[in-house]
Amino acid sequence: MPQPSKKDLEQALNASYKPNASSQQECLGRLTFNAESAFKWALSASTRRDFKGQEPVLSRELRSGDEKLEYGPYGGLYALIFPGATQEQLDKDYEDAIDEKKYIKRDLAEDMAITERVVTRLKSMSPSELEPNTTQEEHDKSIAEWEKKLLEKKQAIADVGKASHALEFGIPDRKGYAQGRYLQGYLLSNGVYYHFVMGSDSNDQRTNAQREAWFSDFMKRFQPRKLYEIPQERGVCFPYGFIPDDGTVPFHTAAGIRFDDRPNVLYVITTQVVGERPITNTLLEATSRASVGLMPGFANEEVAKVLKKRVGPHRAYVGELASEQGGAAVRLTEGKRQFDNYSVYTGYMGWMGSHVLPFIAVDMRSFTQAQTERSKIERLKTDPPSFEESKARLDALLKSIRLRPTTPTMAELQ
């Protein structure tokens, strides 16, 4: 693959962008961006898991489906972040992790009891009672197989908890727990609860001790940060957090923001280094969004009837980086209310292996009152603002995105 030129790399800095003095600045991954109005990360204080169990989302209804905060090799560590959560929620999660081995042991004991009953029943039966034309040899083989399963289950029960232990990080406000290769870390700072999970990956050949050492180092180095607080050193930003590194550690960050005065619109920013994780084809995604209402079929025909604006697919810019954009807006009527509903995707494919020119996407989606009326976390009280207003905010956000300046600078820029 060709390498980016000096000019290509300098485009990542977006040096021509001049933020307004009143704008708010935030960071995600190795990027930074500005917004003209106050906003917050679209995360929930509820630690209730969604059906995937790991994504930091506001609710099942108000989301893009792409939110993800991963860091480190193999994609093994991910973060769950809950602003506004409490120490009680953290403590409960920690105790649940410790108690989990009791439930595992209980389930194994129930399974073992069933296996014992099968073995007892087989031994009390003759081959012909089991099944016509069954030989004694086949019957004895079946009994032996079930007895082997029984021994394996007894050993599994004996092994439960052997690989489970508390993790000590040497910092009073942080604690962790290991269950074999499954590691968890807990931290509460400035009203934000951080829960880090490191699962097992088939490509990860490190020993348990090596993985625990890496996880412990991460937990010691992770820095909570306040909203709009921008680090100056190399590293990866999470919402309300930062992990310093040398500028080359793999990551995948995708998190949404919502403006305080327009909670119906979600702007999900995604960034990762090309080649380290699977990525979306930006041209295909932009084209797909812009094709709403064009393909044959009842659903598309209904959309076409209320289509207000088709966006692209066409060239757009993320900072100074040429990108693809596509989307659509419809005008809906519910009772006496009329309002816009829309979706616009903008994506920059990035350069293979470049930490200065990573994959970047911004996915704007609006949500109606009806879409959250059953939510147990948040119900919207208004419908989305006009498409024109939200598109203007999207354009301003895209214009501001750039590589976060660091000291020392990223190696590719030196």
Is residue 85 helix, strand or coil? coil
Classify each residue of 191-213 as buried b or exposed e, where b means 16 or more C-beta atoms within 10 Å of its C-beta: ebbbbbbbeeeeebeeeeeebbe
Summary mean pLDDT of the chain: 89
For the stretch 82-106, pLDDT in tens is 999 899 989 988 888 887 666 677 7
Instruction: Judge whether residue 53 has pLDDT over 60.
Output: no
What local confidence, expressed as pLDDT, does residue 263 receive?
94
What is residue 35's predicted lDDT score, i.e. its pLDDT?
94
pLDDT tens track for 198-250 = 987 767 888 888 989 999 999 999 999 999 999 999 999 999 999 999 999 99
pLDDT confidence of residue 51: 43
pLDDT at 391 over 90: yes
pLDDT class of 161 with cuts at 50, 70, 90: low
pLDDT for res 234:
98
Least confident among 233-242, 294-303, 327-336: 294-303
**Torsion over CA of 366, 370, 373 and 375, rounded to 10 degrees?**
-40
Q: Output the CA torsion sign for 190, 193, 199, 203.
A: negative
pLDDT at residue 229, as a whole number: 97
Per-residue pLDDT at 52: 47
Q: Which residue has the higher pLDDT, 160 or 30?
A: 30
User: Could you tell me if 379 and 367 are in contact, meaning their C-beta atoms sit under 8 angstroms apart?
Assistant: no
Better-predicted residue by pLDDT, 222 or 63: 222
pLDDT at 290 over 50: yes
Query: Mean pLDDT lowest for which of 5-19, 161-175, 380-394?
Result: 161-175
What length does the chain have?
414
pLDDT of 158 strictly over 80? no
